C-alpha cells in the first residue's frame, strides 16, 4: 500500500506552534478530536437529545479547560446542552459546572460556606411549643404536675427521631450542614423518609438531584407533585440500575399512604414495594427555582464571573512569576563568545552536568565586578498590581452578587466605605433570614411526616398526632444572624420587668399566666440570640410557673403568743421580684465584662 509522504506543516500550524508551543497545540488537537468523536458517536446511535453518552464525552472535554465550554456556547447555546434538549438538560449542565466550581474555585466555595455557616447555622433544633398552655393551666393547681398532653407526646416523638442513631448519618451535628451545602451547590435535594409500618418509626436519608429524572404532577395542575421518578445505581438490580417512584409527602398524608397509582405507568415500581413493612415518601428541597418545579444552583448566574475571576488570578500569577524569573540584566559589548563566557561565570555548573556543582552562586552580600564592556542593571519588577487589583475586584464583585453576597462579604471590604457596607447589611440579612425560614419549613414538613407516621402505625397511644394545627406548632430554632450586645439585652429585659410587668402584676392588671408566657417568650428569644443550644426546652412555659408558698412560715414564737404573723407577700410579686433582682445582677456583671473587652 502506497502511503502519501508526510506533508510539511501549514502556515497556520507553524503559527500555532510558535504561539502556543508544540505540547499545548497537541493537547488542543486531542481535546477537539475527543469532542468530534463524541458528536459522531452520538449521531451513530439512536438520536436521543441529551443522551448520557454525549453528556459524558462533553463533560470529559470541558473538565480539561473552561475555554472549550465558552467556545461551544458562543457557537450555539443549544449545542452546548444537546440539540433540542431544553431547560432540564441546561439545568443539569449547570449543576455539573457548579459541582466542579465547588471543588476547585475558591470564590464559589467561600460563597457556599458563608450561606451554610452563617444563614443555615450550626445549632439547628426541632421542638414543639404548646399553644394551649393557658387552657391547661387554668384547670391544674400550681402544686401539681400538669397531665401528659398531646404536645408532650409529640415532643417525645420528635426528639426520638432527631437524636436516634439510625438518623445520625443525616441529622448529627457533624453532618447536618451537608444538607445545606448540597442544596446550594445542586439547587435541590430530595429527603427520603423510610417509615416502619410496625411501629411508625421514621428514618431519614436523601438523594441528589441528578437521580430524580421526572416529577409526576397532578392531572391538570403542574404545580402539585405526586410522585418523583428516581433512577439510581443498585448492585442488587439485574441491570445495575433501578427506576423507582416515590410518593410526595403531602400526597402520602392526604391519601393515607395509598397515593394515586392511576398517574403512574403500568409497570411502575413504587418505593414501598422494595422493602417489607416499610412505607416511603419523599420531600423536595429546592431553591432558586427558575421555571417549573426544579431548583437551580445558587451560583447559576455567578459561575461565569467566578470562572473568569479564577482565570484572571491565574494569569496574574503567571505574570508575576515570569517577571520574578530574572531580576538583573548583564549587558556586554562582546559577541557570542563574550556572552557565553559571562554565562559560564554566572550560571551554575549543574545546568550542564546535572549532578555536581563546581560553580556555586555567590553568597549574599557579594560584590560584582565589571569592566567598561559589561554593565549590570536591575530589571524593573513592577507587575501593574494596582490596575490588576481594580480589574480583579470588578470580576469578584459580579461573582459575589451572582452568589447572593455583597462584595465586602467576599473579601474586598477595604474597597468600600463603612457606611456603604452597613447600608447593605439589611437586604443581606433579609436574604439570610429568608433562607433560615426556608429550611425551617423543610424541617417542619419532616416533623409533620414523623408525627403522621406515629399516628398511623404507632398504636393508640399516638392517636391525634396527625393534626395540621399540631404540626404548625413545630418550632425550628437556628443560630442568631447578628452579633448581639449582651449588656443591652439584659438591661432591656430588666427594664421590661421593673417598669412594666411587675407593677401591672401587682395591680392585678394582668394575670400571672400572661407574665408566664411573656417570660418564656423573652427568654426564648434571648437564648436564641445568645446561641444557646436547645433554647425551646430551656425556655419552656411550664418552667416559669410561679411556685406556691407555705400557708405559714416556721417561727420560734412560743405557743399562746397572740402576736399576728407578718402579712404574706403575694406569690407572683415575690417570684418576679427575685427574678428581677437576678436580672439586675446579671446585667451588672455583663457590663463589667463589656468594659473589660473594650
Residue 261: per-residue pLDDT: 92
CB 515 within 8 A of CB 572: yes
- 3-class DSSP assignment, residue 310: helix
What's the rounded Cα separation, in Å, for the pair 467 and 388?
A: 61
153-185: per-residue pLDDT in tens?
898 999 999 999 999 999 998 899 999 999 999
pLDDT recorded at residue 201: 94
Question: What is the pLDDT at residue 522?
Answer: 75
* Residue 128 three-state SS: strand
- Reading the block at residue 190, the C-alpha cell is 430530595
In contact, 436 and 121? CB cutoff 8 Å: yes
Q: Report the SS3 class of residue 502.
A: helix
Give, for 17, the enclosing helix (H) or strand (E). Answer: helix 11-20
Global pTM exceeds 0.75: no
The list of the chain residues with pLDDT below 70 reads 1-86, 131-146, 237, 349, 351-355, 372, 379-392, 411-424, 480-490, 525-598
- In sequence order, the 6+-apart residues with CB closer than 8 A to the CB of 509 are none
Dihedral (C-alpha) 375, 380, 381, 384: value to the nearest 10 degrees?
Answer: -160
Neighbours of 495 (CB within 10 A): 14
Determine the pLDDT at residue 29: 62
C-alpha angle with apex 13: 9 to 16, nearest 5 degrees?
A: 150
Nearest to 34 by CA among 56, 14, 12, 9: 56
Q: Which pLDDT belongs to residue 19? A: 53
pLDDT on residue 18: 54
Q: Where are the domains positioned within the chain?
A: 11-85, 109-299+445-463, 486-552+567-597
Q: What are phi and psi of 235, to 5 degrees?
A: -65, -20
Burial of 144 (0-12, 13-18, 19+ CB in 10 A): exposed
DSSP-derived secondary structure for 230-295: EEEE-TTSTTSEEEEEEEEHHHHHHTTT---GGGS-TT--BGGGTSTTEEEEEEEEE-SB-STT-B
Amino acid at each position: 500500500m502506497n502511503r502519501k509522504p508526510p506533508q510539511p506543516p501549514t502556515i497556520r500550524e507553524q503559527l500555532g506552534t510558535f504561539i502556543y508551543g508544540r505540547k499545548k497545540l497537541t493537547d488542543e488537537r486531542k481535546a477537539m478530536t475527543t469532542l468530534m468523536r463524541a458528536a459522531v458517536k452520538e449521531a451513530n446511535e439512536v438520536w436521543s437529545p441529551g443522551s448520557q453518552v454525549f453528556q459524558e464525552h462533553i463533560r470529559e472535554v470541558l473538565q480539561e479547560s473552561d475555554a472549550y465550554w465558552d467556545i461551544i456556547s458562543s457557537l450555539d447555546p443549544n449545542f452546548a446542552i444537546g440539540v433540542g434538549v431544553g431547560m432540564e438538560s441546561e439545568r443539569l449542565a449547570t449543576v455539573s459546572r457548579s459541582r466542579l466550581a465547588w471543588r476547585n474555585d475558591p470564590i464559589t466555595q467561600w460563597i457556599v460556606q458563608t450561606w451554610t455557616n452563617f444563614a443555615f447555622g450550626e445549632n439547628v433544633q426541632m421542638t414543639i411549643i404548646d399553644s394551649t398552655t393557658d387552657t391547661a393551666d387554668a384547670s391544674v393547681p400550681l402544686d401539681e404536675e400538669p397531665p401528659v398532653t398531646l404536645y408532650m407526646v409529640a415532643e417525645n416523638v420528635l426528639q426520638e427521631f432527631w437524636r436516634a442513631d439510625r438518623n445520625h448519618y443525616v441529622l448529627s451535628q457533624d453532618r447536618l450542614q451537608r444538607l445545606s451545602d448540597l442544596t446550594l451547590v445542586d439547587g435541590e435535594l430530595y429527603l427520603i423518609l423510610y417509615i416502619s409500618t410496625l411501629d411508625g418509626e421514621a428514618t431519614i436519608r436523601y438523594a441528589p438531584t441528578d437521580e430524580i429524572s421526572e416529577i409526576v404532577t397532578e392531572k391538570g395542575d403542574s404545580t402539585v407533585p405526586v410522585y418523583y421518578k428516581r433512577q439510581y445505581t443498585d448492585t442488587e438490580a439485574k441491570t445495575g440500575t433501578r427506576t423507582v417512584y416515590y410518593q410526595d409527602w403531602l400526597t402520602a398524608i392526604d391519601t393515607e399512604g395509598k397515593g394515586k397509582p392511576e398517574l403512574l405507568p403500568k409497570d411502575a415500581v413504587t418505593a414501598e414495594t422494595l422493602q417489607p413493612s416499610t412505607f416511603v415518601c419523599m420531600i423536595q428541597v429546592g431553591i432558586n427555582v427558575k421555571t417549573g418545579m426544579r431548583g437551580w444552583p445558587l451560583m447559576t448566574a455567578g459561575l461565569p464571573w467566578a470562572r473568569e475571576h479564577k482565570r484572571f488570578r491565574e494569569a496574574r500569577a503567571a505574570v508575576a512569576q515570569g517577571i520574578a524569573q530574572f531580576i538583573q540584566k548583564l549587558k556586554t559589548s562582546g559577541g557570542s563568545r563574550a556572552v557565553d563566557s559571562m554565562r559560564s561565570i554566572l550560571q551554575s555548573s549543574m545546568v550542564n552536568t546535572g549532578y555536581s556543582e563546581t560553580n556555586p552562586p555567590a553568597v549574599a552580600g557579594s560584590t560584582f565586578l565589571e569592566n567598561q564592556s559589561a554593565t549590570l542593571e536591575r530589571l524593573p519588577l513592577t507587575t501593574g498590581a494596582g490596575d490588576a487589583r481594580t480589574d480583579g475586584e470588578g470580576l469578584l464583585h459580579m461573582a459575589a452578587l451572582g452568589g447572593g453576597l455583597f462584595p465586602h462579604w467576599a473579601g474586598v471590604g477595604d474597597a468600600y466605605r463603612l457606611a456603604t457596607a452597613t447600608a447593605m447589611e439589611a437586604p443581606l440579612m433579609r436574604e439570610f433570614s429568608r433562607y433560615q425560614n426556608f429550611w425551617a419549613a423543610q424541617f417542619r414538613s419532616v416533623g409533620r411526616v414523623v408525627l403522621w407516621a406515629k399516628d398511623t402505625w404507632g398504636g393508640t397511644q399516638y392517636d391525634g398526632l396527625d393534626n395540621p394545627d399540631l404540626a404548625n406548632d413545630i418550632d425550628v430554632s437556628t443560630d442568631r444572624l447578628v452579633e448581639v450586645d449582651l449588656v443591652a439585652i439584659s438591661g432591656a429585659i430588666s427594664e421590661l420587668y421593673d417598669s412594666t410587668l411587675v407593677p401591672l402584676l401587682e395591680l392585678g392588671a394582668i394575670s400571672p399566666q400572661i407574665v408566664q408566657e411573656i417570660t418564656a417568650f423573652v427568654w426564648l428569644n434571648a437564648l436564641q440570640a445568645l446561641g444557646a443550644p436547645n433554647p425551646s426546652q430551656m425556655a419552656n412555659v411550664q418552667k416559669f410557673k410561679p411556685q406556691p408558698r407555705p400557708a405559714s412560715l416556721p417561727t420560734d414564737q412560743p405557743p399562746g403568743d397572740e402576736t399576728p404573723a407578718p402579712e404574706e407577700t403575694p406569690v407572683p410579686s415575690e417570684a418576679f421580684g427575685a427574678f428581677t433582682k437576678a436580672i439586675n445582677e446579671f446585667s451588672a456583671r455583663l457590663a463589667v465584662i463589656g468594659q473589660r473587652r473594650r
